[in-house]
Amino acid sequence: MEISAYQCDLAEVLRDNYCLVVNDLAKRALLTTERSIITGIMECFSWSPLDLSKKYQFNLGNYALIILNRPIVLPPNEMMTLWKEATIRTTVDGGTTRWFDFLKQHNIDVTFPDIVSGDFDSISSSLLNTCEENGVYVEKTPDQNYTDFEKSLYIIKQRCDKKLDSLLVILDVSGRLDHTFSNLNTLHRTRSIFSDYHTKAYLLTSVSLTWILNPGHHTISIPSYIRDEEEWCGILPFTPVKNHITTTGLKWNLDKQTVEFGGLISSSNTYDGSPEVTLTTDAEIIWCMGYRKET
């Protein structure tokens, strides 16, 4: 049986079309796989701790407020708003003295925390007695294998009968560098302490907000006033695991780049005007951002 030229041409067309279809399906499968890596296998996180409509206000859900033994330098009205809106309030050891000094300095009526804890090497016995007499739960935590900050987290978890969306830690990063690194380490450990609740944890100073980004895809909402004022932000390494980071929404974005000590550190970055920053990372990293100009 002879095969005509027409039949040969038709066979070639069918073969070419078949190849095109197969290639197209392969490309679609690859795209689907890439998407699944981001949206399926890789966890997705959304962050919006700063109120998008009110300057210097926060959006934290039910949160615990924790005051460490550092000067309280937030403006009084902002500090008192954070205090009043907290679900539970804890002062840690000398942070208790800092709190009452802050109230006295700004002529604010005395208001007691819900919990005072620590090894009590930085607080007077008379102040502890005053707290107990006014219904404050006081617990001494003498174990020196853990910081007072970390021990306070376990007490908060035991004492708070509501699910906490956030932990907000008031501190100041001036002074001892070892304390700063210790606080970052405890910030990291909150994930295991509150593992059942997916509680987010933040370190707050008078000008900056810091938290840890786990491996995954992150979307961070940036208020318009922060973008307009071109506030700073930074991406810092945290673990010895080599990271590969991709971002959008920054003035200087990263494209599968590694942030590490001895190499690239993304400090003094800022925003490109987009309402969101997206960041994908395969290792834990630190995100820090300014929300107010330093004075």
Measure the CA–CA gap between 65 and 272, rounded to whole angstroms.
32
pTM of the model: 0.84
Q: What is the CATH number of the domain that holds 126?
A: 3.40.50.10240
Tell whether 249 is covered by a domain: yes
Cβ-in-10-Å burial (0-12, 13-18, 19+) of 32 comes to exposed
The reply to whether 173 and 272 lie within a common domain is no
Measure the CA–CA gap between 282 and 243, rounded to whole angstroms.
6
What percent of the chain is predicted at pLDDT more than 90? 76
Number of domains making up the chain: 2
What would the mean pLDDT of 149-165 be, rounded to a whole number? 95
Measure the CA–CA gap between 34 and 40, rounded to whole angstroms.
10
Query: pLDDT band at 13, cuts 50/70/90?
Result: very low
Phi–psi pair at 43, nearest 5 degrees: -70, 145
What percent of the chain is predicted at pLDDT more than 70? 86
What would the mean pLDDT of 256-260 be, rounded to a whole number? 95
Measure the CA–CA gap between 64 and 193, rounded to whole angstroms.
14
Query: pLDDT band at 15, cuts 50/70/90?
Result: low
In this predicted structure, the answer to whether residue 3 has a pLDDT above a threshold of 50 is no
Residue-level pLDDT at 16? 55
In this predicted structure, the answer to whether residue 8 has a pLDDT above a threshold of 90 is no
Residue finishing a domain among 206, 231, 246:
206
Tell me the chain's radius of gyration from C-alpha atoms. Answer: 26
The reply to whether 65 and 152 lie within a common domain is yes
The whole domain housing 261 covers: 209-295
The reply to whether 78 and 180 lie within a common domain is yes
Residue finishing a domain among 150, 172, 206:
206
